Amino acid sequence: MRLRAGLMAVGLPVLGVQPAFAASPPAPTAAQPAPAPGAAGTAADGAQVDLLPADLGVAAYGYVVPHQPNFVTALGWADVRWLHVEARYNYEALHTGSVFVGMRAAWSSLVRLKVTPMLGGTFGDVVGLVPAVRFSLGWWKLDLCNESELVVDLHGVSSSFFYTWTELGLSPLPWLRVGAAMERDQIIQNSLIVQRGPFAGVTSRFVSFTLYAFNVGWTSPTFVLAASATF
């Protein structure tokens, strides 16, 4: 999820799906070790916090790209305890689908960390093998999210490429998240290797909307409107 999910996604996302974190539990002490991956944490009021909740999500990203056809990226994912499965279209390349299976892990003390290594494959215009990893790091009202992957083109290794999407966000209000994002992909063709710019997103219950403005001040801007829902 493109952190977009997601960052998902996060359920970013990933992601796009925007990351949401529970209140930070107290720092572990000698009598209270840090929870193992997949275990429940302890909130300040003594209640247990599930660090790996089960969920089901969908997301769509509408790209308005100068001097290129506009397009939509679609994602869907499911999480059950440590297991993560995900399907995408127009993500790694246009007219290309992909499927992934991953394993989730989470830790929480003063800082909240979630990591999901994944292995997947693409089909369509690009046929390849894709090792990937997604992580999110949260503290106070700040969060850092990243998804990176290497698309190994099975029709020609020389056509393989590295993709990454990163967001640094601030949530001043429970329903508002603002920050900066950057993306390196093979779809947007311009003079920049990395697309970069601010974003702002709002969440109402289980639905989120985020607007990204890439490359403003560097070249003709690309705008991305993301909508996601998590159940």
- Cα–Cα distances (Å) from 13 to 31, 59, 193, in that order, read 33, 9, 24
Distance of CA 176 to the CA centre of its chain: 17
Average pLDDT, the chain: 85
pLDDT digits (tens, 9 = 90+) for 56-96: 999 999 999 999 999 999 999 999 999 999 999 999 999 99
Decide which of 2.40.160.40, 2.60.40.420, 3.40.47.10, 3.40.50.1980 is the CATH code for 48-230.
2.40.160.40
Rama region for 191: left / alpha / beta (φ>0; ψ in -120 to 50; rest): alpha
- Average pLDDT for residues 209-213, to the nearest whole number? 98
Tokens found for residue 159: 């056509």
pLDDT digits (tens, 9 = 90+) for 175-204: 999 999 999 998 999 999 999 999 999 999
> What ranges do the domains of the chain cover?
48-230
pTM of this prediction?
0.80
Residue 41 forms beta bridges with which residues? 49
Cβ proximity of 72 and 65 under 8 Å: no
- Average pLDDT for residues 143-149, to the nearest whole number? 98
Cα three-residue angle 226-82-100, rounded to 5 degrees: 50
For residue 10, pLDDT over 80 is answered with no
